[in-house]
Structure 1
Amino acid sequence: MTIAGAVDPVPVPRTMPAGDGRVDLVGLARADVAGALVAAGVADARTAKMRARQLWSWIYNRGVTEFALMTDIAKPMREALERAFVVGRPEVVTAQVSTDGTRKWLLRSGGEEYEMVFIPDHDRGTLCVSSQVGCTLNCRFCHTGTMKLVRNLTAAEIVGQVMLARDSLGEWPSSPDGRLLTNIVMMGMGEPLYNFENVKAALNIVMDGDGLALSKRRITLSTSGVVPMMARAGEEIGVNLAVSLHAVTKEVRDEIVPLNKRYGIQELLSACAAYPGANNARRITFEYVMLRDKNDSDADAEELVRLIQSYRLPAKVNLIPFNPWPGVGYETSTPERIARFSDIIYRAGISAPVRTPRGRDIMAACGQLKSASEKVSRAELDRRAAEKEAAWV
């Protein structure tokens, strides 16, 4: 498996065809919808753009999945659309609700499973979206990182998560007013920048003003530090950036975020400093999981401050109490230690809120996502870890 230089290490079609051969319109750019209509003989070149606009509104603004309900399209055309196309959704394998209101879905498409999570709060509702089945990386504290990489999710499967959440929350037609789902974070299973093209295509649809219409300021893409792709993400997608930093020394970050062996802290922070659009109004978020006696000392906090200041980064730090999972070799920092760490950063004038763990009782918290259907031995996990880490050497 060669990962290091690849943007899309496991290429797949942008949309997943229906089992009966029909094409899924979800995930196609508007021009591609028009092209698909012409290719299927459903519309000619003269009318295809107009038909694509109609379909776009029904699919992304009103959330309709049945062509028969698209009432401003003539019945013969609806029947032709039904024969050639589908408006798909991922299959829901299980849906769980935490005691704190967090929702987690185990989804299936193309025979593989992945997860998404919705986190409600008093002033927002955030959907945590997956970009891969499994994960390219092997962050040692992350449950998802123990999985093998199966494949990239398609644009259809990424957008489909947002649409399925809208279905579940009853948020059609799409409108900014009174939404429960207000924010999206690309922080689910997988490394988004190793599935760049599909993530970009999906987020362009999510941000389209005639469809799902979510502002780029409401979308955050999280990366473990795929340095060569960070500038492209800023230029071509333009959403907020979050970086899974988690350590301030090479020794510790090499251990817990093995990608650091490929792209070190200095290289990563230089890429952050150059990220297009980063400023005091759009700060870069550094995610920092708190691991007891590993990365949580006063000296670590002081070095984190020094690094942010030396690179003149418009930044805030999200401190994440470690969310344990069976078999992991780390412990959560004590509340007192986390509070002290946060205080050191705050006193330097850098925001450092402590994230409240959500959905722990259903394994929906940060770092806990993993398909429940996969149960493997420790020996297999170690083999996978060695295989992934070999890619960075």
Structure 2
Amino acid sequence: MSIKLNELLPAPSNVSDDWTRTRNDPWFKEHKEHFGALVSKEPPPYGKRKGWSPRTPEDFGDGGAFPEIHMAQFPLGMGQDISRKGGTEKTLALQFDTEGKLRYDAIAKIGHHKDKMVYARLSDTKGGAIDEEDESFIRPDDDAVADTTEATRAALEKITNSKMDAALPVRHAEKTGPAQYIRYTPSQQAGNFNSGAEQRIIRMVEAQHDPMEPPKFKINQKIPRPPPSPPAPVLHSPSRKVTVKEQADWKIPPCISNWKNPKGYTIALDKRLAADGRGLQQVHINENFAKLAESLYIADRKAREAVEMRAQVERRVAQKKKEEQEEKMRALAQKARAERAGIRKTKDEDTEAKERDVIRKDRMDDRRRERNIARNKPEKLD
């Protein structure tokens, strides 16, 4: 009597089979029915295959390649190098995790570097419990810190020294590693091969680098710059209702020329002025114009006052001269009348001499004044 293990174990409370659930998905069922309903395509019969070449898997039907057609053939995709075609195969293979569940987040890692961490599960957003006894979370002791520091310092010194030596025209030869001995057993154990030896000891020695050898590779090529950082997001204010004034300000009048009208259209004057833009210009008069006008008015008034004063002085001088001339003429007339009347006193000669002296002095004064005027202000003589 045989007893099965399933009869002894209790029934599981939670049954989870991702692969069964995936196969029962309606999308897979529809595609299975669709591909199952495809009818195989038969190739042309013999004698009618001139100029025909199989290109798709349906052209081969259920058979293999056609030897009479001289071209590369891949029936059912056999022998075809997908990597050479540029990776046209985009179907992702099913992957399972350590618990045997289907990994649906594998598609999220396509296009990223293999070492990049891609978080695509809900558990990635939650904090995990930290075990205090875990060795990865224990702080290293002083000896481990000192060893790590010394190893880091040695590595950095090696990198720095190599870069410094590379810049020198002549550098010392690098120290080669120790020789390695490898036991080699050939697959052919017959006497005709390997000189009859069953095994050989191979000594591997690192080739010595010539310190005077010029560089083998060009390293001065310009490396393309990495892509720039993404632009900063532009924050816009919330939309608001446009007022009537803003709508009127946004109305741009059509461009109308004031010099050309080849079509001969009749354009209203308000439209022409609106296109001219005169109403949009604000007239601003500089205050210096008012200052200039006031200065010109004051200069004109002072000039008029100076001219009027000069004219009054000239009239006064002319009046004085006229009065003096009339007085002289009156005296001469009086003298002539007295001489005709025969009336002459004893002291007339002395009086006449005095008058002649006065006239002579006046004439000298006039000539002296004219000379002074001609010397200082010749324009007054005109």
**TM-score under structure 2 length normalisation:** 0.14
Which structure would you say has the larger RCO, counting Cα contacts within 8 Å and 6 or more residues apart? Answer: 1
Pick the structure with greater CA Rg: 2
